[in-house]
Amino acid sequence: MFSKRNETVNVVTLADEKFLPNAYALIESLKSTSSLTIHLLLIGYNKSQINNLIQIENLVYHSEDEITKWIPILKLIKKSDYKYYCWTLASVFSLYIMADLRQKTIYIDSDIYFHKPIDLFLQKLEGKSIGLFRHRMFELTDDRIEGLFNVGVIYFSNDEIGQKALTWWADAVVNQKYPKYATCGDQKYLDYLYLKWGSNCYIDEGIGHGAPWHWQLYDLSKLHVAGSILHKGQEEPFLFTHFSQMKCDFAKGSYIPSVAHHNYTPMEMYFSNINLNIIYELYFKKLITMKLLYME
């Protein structure tokens, strides 16, 4: 295994052309924590195209070639099942960065936006090797096809357990091992990390996080006054939103908040709940700004 070097934290994310505005929005939302280095893996971009992208402080661009040369089997996976190939990249790219830099690593989906400094999360991780965010509509005793945790934000410390957990996850996903956990792309594998190393995991206590599968669980009345939400009667600082399945039509200036997950949050709630509507309106405007600043 690779050893510990220092306490620097690396954020890793990935995007293709469609999700590049989201990635830039995520990067901007993380600027309040200057100690982070953000590593962006660009899918479908060659080195020449990457070199032409705007340089941003604390952002490092990476090409697919780096990853596929490191793990050649990914080229075969990409040819046979592109969607599954994309699922492999969260764990593989995280492992690639940790193995190279030997530092703490946080994977974040590019369609996530932080409303408060990520320091709120980092402070909770003291003494922990893994950090996970629950699917809060499930109990931790459940056995769900989707998995008990969301891949959106995952932390691995550069210690023995963090290294083992990340290596196990990447190996399991790339080689499609353990059928019990191979039911939802790369996601349900996270259940095993909790079962194996639960005492070394931080599991989202005291941090509010939104997503199309969570809105119905929350009282959002304090969101834009105090920057917090109420969950099961407890007030929590609202850290981030996962804008999963948001479909944007920039030419028409319109969007669909989520094309899936309506069994959790009915479509009308996105427009009838003013606090929720503000979240999505502001994010859509942010994406437009990112396109204008960095892509046009």
Query: Which pLDDT belongs to residue 87?
Result: 95
Same structural domain, 113 and 57: yes
In sequence order, what DSSP letters do the residues of 34-47 get, joined into one string? Answer: TTEEEEEEETT--H
Same structural domain, 98 and 117: yes
Buried-exposed string 39-48: b where 16+ CB fall within 10 A, e elsewhere: bbbbbebeee
Full strand arrangement of the beta sheet holding 9-15: 59-63, 36-42, 9-15, 104-108, 149-156, 130-134, 201-203
Query: Which pLDDT belongs to residue 3?
Result: 44
Distance CA(137)–CA(51), nearest Å, equals 43
Stretch 6-13: mean pLDDT = 85
* Model confidence pLDDT, tens digit, residues 123-160: 999 999 999 999 999 999 999 999 999 999 999 999 99
Same structural domain, 24 and 152: yes
Same structural domain, 198 and 62: yes
Distance CA(222)–CA(278), nearest Å, equals 13
Residue 223 is assigned to a structural domain of this protein: yes
Same structural domain, 251 and 135: no
Residue 284 is assigned to a structural domain of this protein: yes
Same structural domain, 273 and 138: no
Q: Which of 175, 203, 231 is the last residue of a domain?
A: 203
Q: What's the CATH number where 161 sits?
A: 3.90.550.10
Backbone angles phi, psi at 236, to 5 degrees: -130, 140
Buried-exposed string 90-109: b where 16+ CB fall within 10 A, e elsewhere: bbbbbbbbbbebbbbbbbbb
- For residue 76, what are the CA distances in angstroms to 43, 68, 187, 250? 16, 10, 21, 34
Residue 3 is assigned to a structural domain of this protein: no
Residue 1 is assigned to a structural domain of this protein: no
Same structural domain, 13 and 113: yes
* Model confidence pLDDT, tens digit, residues 258-290: 999 988 999 999 999 999 999 999 999 999 999
Query: Which pLDDT belongs to residue 131?
Result: 98
Query: Which pLDDT belongs to residue 32?
Result: 75
Residue 2 is assigned to a structural domain of this protein: no
Residue 8 has pLDDT above 90, yes or no: no
Same structural domain, 152 and 259: no
- Contact (Cβ atoms closer than 8 angstroms) between residue 105 and residue 6: no
Same structural domain, 184 and 126: yes
* Model confidence pLDDT, tens digit, residues 189-240: 999 999 999 999 999 999 999 999 999 999 999 999 899 999 999 999 999 9
Residue 103 is assigned to a structural domain of this protein: yes
pTM: 0.96
Other Cβ atoms within 10 Å of 6 Cβ, number: 9
* Model confidence pLDDT, tens digit, residues 37-60: 999 999 999 989 999 999 999 999
Tell me which residue range forms the domain holding 107.
9-203
Same structural domain, 113 and 256: no
Residue 5 has pLDDT above 50, yes or no: no
With a pLDDT cut of 90, the percent of the chain lying above it is: 92
Residue 219 is assigned to a structural domain of this protein: yes
Same structural domain, 113 and 216: no
Dihedral sign (CA 76, 78, 81, 84): positive
Other Cβ atoms within 10 Å of 167 Cβ, number: 17
Query: Which pLDDT belongs to residue 114?
Result: 97
Other Cβ atoms within 10 Å of 245 Cβ, number: 15
- For residue 12, what are the CA distances in angstroms to 36, 96, 153, 262? 10, 10, 10, 29
Q: Which of 203, 238, 272 is the last residue of a domain?
A: 203
Residue 231 is assigned to a structural domain of this protein: yes
Tally of domains within the chain: 2
Distance CA(54)–CA(230), nearest Å, equals 39
Backbone angles phi, psi at 248, to 5 degrees: -110, 135
Same structural domain, 153 and 271: no
- Contact (Cβ atoms closer than 8 angstroms) between residue 10 and residue 36: yes
Say which residue the tokens 């079962």 belong to: 195
Distance CA(243)–CA(200), nearest Å, equals 28
Q: Which of 149, 184, 203 is the last residue of a domain?
A: 203
* Model confidence pLDDT, tens digit, residues 66-122: 999 999 999 999 999 999 999 999 999 999 999 999 999 999 999 999 999 999 999
